[in-house]
Amino acid sequence: MEDAPAADPKAERRQRLMGLDLTELAVEFGTDKWGVHRYTPHYQRHLEHLRQQKFVLLEIGIGGYTRKRRSGASLKMWRWFFPRARIVGLDIEDKSFLDGGHIQTYLGDQTDPGILQRIIAEEGAPLVVIDDGSHIPEHVRATFAILFPLLPDGAIYCIEDIQTSYWPAWGGAVDPRATGTSMDLVKSLVDGLNHEELLVEDYESSYTDKHVRAVHCYHNLVVIEKGDNVEGSNRDTAAHTFHGSNDDPAETP
């Protein structure tokens, strides 16, 4: 009787990792997207439909500045959650030791249009962007202004650690109504969802007004969906409905 073939440890590990959900992968590779934060369930909700798709994911900020062995933990997590995707990382420090397989890193500043345009030229436009970079509101806003118009419809743009909007030491402000913060950007995007209903005289709809389809806000995390937002106003029909329908509260027993 012949002996059974020896098990292949690499194949077994691959099979095991492919069966894990995103939170389990975060624990496996030691990223703070679970534990320090609670981001992975939200990402699973919004990105699960892409799990077996071919696309480019760009993560800004690779981490591991004090412990090199921990560097790239989230890139590795994404690599196993999206086995067919191209996982691209951008960092202000050289992380090229992580390059290989599905992972490619770039050295540069997240607010530099040149490096962002180079990434798109070489890798293709990302379908998913994760801004886990400096978390400085000025940088967050500049990066979004550069990248978002370059993304395809259906793209998902995520901004992490948005709590720095409220921290002056990080360029934020104590007053939650302050302008120029990351949350100020998010609030403007939410208003923009209804840009066709605004009664502001001579208001001109912006690019994001017309191309942000949804904004999902969680604790310290924002997920923005790109797509057409030009449904047209229902101002005239709504006026009739609100004042003359059977749903009028005044006519409801």
- Which CATH number among 1.10.3720.10, 3.40.50.150, 3.40.190.10, 3.30.70.1070 corresponds to the domain 9-251? 3.40.50.150
Q: Is the pLDDT of residue 131 over 80?
A: yes
DSSP string, 130-188: EE-S---HHHHHHHHHHHGGGSPTT-EEEEE-GGGGG-GGGT--SSTT-SSSHHHHHHH
Q: What is the mean pLDDT of the chain?
A: 91
Instruction: Give pLDDT, residue 6.
Output: 65
Options 37, 46, 102, 135, the catalytic residue: 135
Q: Which of 193, 224, 226 is nearest to 209 (CA)?
A: 193
Instruction: Give pLDDT, residue 249.
Output: 47
Q: What is d(CA 16, CA 84) in angstroms, rounded to the nearest whole number?
A: 16
The segment with the largest mean pLDDT, out of 1-5, 12-16, 93-97, 231-235, is 93-97
Judged by average pLDDT, the poorest of 161-165, 214-218, 232-236 is 232-236
Instruction: Give pLDDT, residue 251.
Output: 43
Q: Which of 187, 227, 232 is nearest to 207 (CA)?
A: 227
pLDDT tens per residue across span 13-64: 888 888 899 999 999 999 999 999 999 999 999 999 999 999 999 999 998 7
CB 98 within 8 A of CB 104: no
Q: What is d(CA 195, CA 186) in angstroms, rounded to the nearest whole number?
A: 14
Per-residue confidence band for 161, with pLDDT thresholds at 50, 70 and 90: very high
pLDDT tens per residue across span 57-106: 999 999 877 666 568 999 999 999 999 999 999 999 999 999 998 999 99
Instruction: Give pLDDT, residue 252.
Output: 41
135 is annotated as an active-site residue: yes
Instruction: Give pLDDT, residue 117.
Output: 98
